[in-house]
Chain A
Amino acid sequence: MSDAAEAPARRRLADDAPVRVVSARAPLRTRLTTLWSRRELLLGLIGSDIRIKYKNSALGIVWSMLSPASMLAMYYLVFSIFLKNGIPNFVVYLFSGLVVWNMFQISLNTATGVIVDRAGLVKKVSFPREILALANVGASVVYFVIQLCVLLIFLAIIGHAPDWGFLWLLPISFLTLYLLTASLAVVMSAVTVYLRDVKHLMEVVLQFWFWLTPVVYSYENSIAAPLHRHGLSNIYFLNPVTLIVLTFQRIFYVSTVVHSTTTGALIKILPTWSFEKFLALNSALLGITVVMFLAAESLFGRLEGNFESEL
């Protein structure tokens, strides 16, 4: 009986079982392959994140649709009926930028402190620790998709079609957003272990960042001219979130130049770039964020070594 039991164990080890090396510093490639091999854990953590959030609530995940939907209704009331700012369908413009910003902000706010918050786990169980930060980003991706659905339903209700030609930019732009958010989340989660203030600092920085991004205002309609006069336009576009937001607005809001609903004058809302220019800029940013993610992984690997003595 014991022979029969022993046989599979022997065979398993004889089959060139993969050799894992634990050493002072793993090369980046090893980090990435380990990360990929643990994707089930990532999915499991995302699932548990969402389940914990809506545990014991009767409506559960429906809440994550209700809250953006009510927000959308509120914005519609405020900006299109009470405080007319002259931009037609302003709520579509606002919401297409807001889905991007929400994902960025919620990910960073939750991921920044995650390694510190889950110190018990980090000190006891072996897994690539950045998965914790990536799981928070992943949970935001789920909410992002839900909000996008709310937006699409709203578009269908009011009969506003997205720009089908520009829709091809959506996957590229989303991937860019994901990589950008993930890189920052991974780095910030590790830095917070050493400097606990970063968690609070991040919240403040994100508030400023929000207003540096054309979500609730139109860049072209407000600050484009003064910035251009002082030669600051390029600096404004250094904010990587801006391009992603503009792309989403271009896809869903469509019109670049509109007639004001109050004065009837022509106003420019979005850059009048061609599809090719949007594609080129988005591809370039995608390339940059890929490099950012690799750099973030490598930096995380360096910072990870001393977690034990700091947590």
Chain B
Amino acid sequence: MGTVIDVRHVSKSFKIHHERHQSLKERLLHPRSGSTEVFHALRDVSFEVGANETVGILGHNGSGKSTLLKTICGVLQPTSGEIRLRGTLAALLELGAGFQTELSGRDNVYLYGAMLGLSKRAVDAIFDDIVAFSEIEHFIDTQVKFYSSGMYVRLAFAVAVNVDPDLLVVDEVLAVGDERFQAKCIDRIRRFQEEGRSILLVTHNADQVRALCDRAIVLNAGELIADGPTASSLRAFREHLLEDNADRDERPAQTNVTIAAVTTPTGSFDVRSGASMHFDVEIDSQSAYSGNFVLEVFTRSGQLVSRSDAQGAPVNLSPGRNVVGVDLAQLPLLDGVYDLNVGVVDAHGHTRIAWREQAASIQVSYDGRAGGVVELGATIRQQ
């Protein structure tokens, strides 16, 4: 089937004004002052999206994801290059951006529909579906300024997904509404996929990409660094995360005990989900000390996955270099990068004697179907 989006060598640069002279007087008085810097948000990005494909776009903040999406939707014009689009497009960039708060929900549905390129008759045809999806039947003739933020967003989402687009562009808007509404949105996206439409999805959430996308594109500093099956793109994305964090700050130790290094026998922190892992923590101490050893595992979003300690058995440090071995028998973690914090605390566990944030990061690769952080190993069968 044909190509729906064809992005050809698209670059976009912005002028950043360090001193804005936007009034006429200032422009006349300082015709040349105010330095401007050119910021390259996208550099020579090319890719194609075929019909019936769901493509995720991954990248850090400031990597150019949103710029790329806005360029595809025609909100921004590329500085060079071009984008060819086939069929109708519905964009969920910022939900409800086109709403006029003084007007009723009903009027706004028609206005927003017109903004997405629908005729009045076309909106008439889907009006009931929109209202039903948004679940605000009672308030449809109320002015939008009296809506709660949830109602506002639900109405906007309902319009956008009911317009019957060939291509749906979604920019991190799935984080809106309560969980039930989110599930409804995901359901709708899956139905779009079944119907053979194309979807372009921008998100920070790797799980969402893994769950919904066949393919993913990774942007870094405006450049396309990976374009391929979701799993391999996710890996590339993670590798970049690791590189970016290579020079992490080192906390000065509070006492004369310091964590020198965290090493693995192979030197690699890549591990497959479910495999065993061993690493050594090298601790330098200037005097003999007896305390407790603590290991914390965090996800990249800062969620504590697990905290474990030496389970009552003290770690006896002698002057000089000590090595503490940590064994993880069957790593139950799923695909992702996890940060390890290691440290020594006093026997009561109150005071940190030595601590190192992000002493190491492990990259877990996982090819299964489960999503989230932990593999529960659930077997599901009908009784």
Query: Which A positions have Cβ atoms within 8 angstroms of B?
Result: 2, 5-6, 8-10, 12-14, 17-25, 37-38, 40-41, 43-45, 48, 51-52, 55, 120-121, 123-127, 194-198, 201, 304-306, 308-310
Contacts and interface: CB of A to CB of B under 8 A. Distances in A.
Interface residues of B, number: 55
A38 B119 CA distance: 9
Contacts of B162: none
Contact of B85 (A19, A44, A198, A306): A19
A306 B15 contact: yes
B50 to A, nearest CB: 10
Contact of B86 (A18, A22, A24): A18
Nearest to B79: A24
Interface string B105-141: 0010011001101111000000000000000000000
B24 A195 contact: yes
A24 B110 CA distance: 31
Nearest to A8: B195
A126 B74 contact: yes
Given A45-B111, A124-B94, A196-B23, A9 B197 contact: yes
Contacts of A120: 97
Nearest to A128: B74
Contact of A305 (B77, B119, B194): B77
A40 B122 CA distance: 11
Contacts of B100: 48, 52
A40 B14 contact: no
A44 B86 contact: no
B166 A17 contact: yes
Interface string B2-20: 1010000000001111000
A44 B78 CA distance: 29
Nearest to B116: A125
B196 A6 contact: yes
B192 to A, nearest CB: 9
A40 B91 CA distance: 19
A121 B14 contact: no
Best-buried of A22, A55, A196 by chain B (most CB within 10 Å) = A22
Given A9-B52, A21-B82, A125-B97, 10 more contacts: A9-B51, A9-B197, A13-B51, A21-B84, A22-B77, A24-B77, A41-B115, A125-B91, A308-B76, A309-B14
B77 A195 contact: no
Contacts of B187: none
B72 A195 contact: no
Contacts of B118: 40
Interface of B: 1-2, 4, 14-17, 22-25, 27, 51-52, 71-87, 91, 93-94, 97-98, 100, 102-103, 107, 110-111, 114-115, 117-120, 143, 166, 191, 194-197
A214 to B, nearest CB: 30
B15 A309 contact: yes
Given A124-B75, A195-B23, A195-B24, A10 B86 contact: no
Contacts of A124: 75, 93-94, 97-98
Classify the secondary structure of A's interface with B. helix
Given A23-B82, A51-B103, A9 B195 contact: yes
A194 B52 CA distance: 42
A192 to B, nearest CB: 10
Nearest to B197: A9
Nearest to A2: B194
Given A9-B196, A10-B1, A52-B100, A22 B107 contact: no
B15 A6 contact: no
B97 A24 contact: no
B84 A127 contact: no
Nearest to A304: B77
B72 A22 contact: yes
A18 B4 CA distance: 11
B120 A40 contact: yes
A195 B27 contact: yes
Contacts of A12: 87, 166
A21 B83 contact: yes
Given A18-B86, A20-B85, A48-B100, A125 B75 contact: yes
A309 B20 CA distance: 11
A24 B166 contact: no
Nearest to A123: B75
12 contacts: A8-B195, A19-B86, A22-B77, A22-B84, A23-B83, A38-B117, A40-B114, A41-B115, A124-B97, A194-B22, A195-B23, A308-B14
Contacts of B196: 5-6, 9-10
Nearest to B39: A309
A23 B143 CA distance: 38
Contacts of B79: 24
Contacts of A22: 71-72, 74, 77-78, 82-85
Nearest to A5: B195
Nearest to B88: A17
A173 to B, nearest CB: 30
Contacts of B52: 9
Nearest to A6: B196
Contact of B102 (A9, A52, A198, A304): A52
B2 A13 contact: yes
A8 B97 CA distance: 30
Contact of B194 (A6, A43, A48): A6
B115 A127 contact: yes
B220 to A, nearest CB: 22
A198 B1 contact: no
Nearest to A200: B24
Contacts of A306: 15
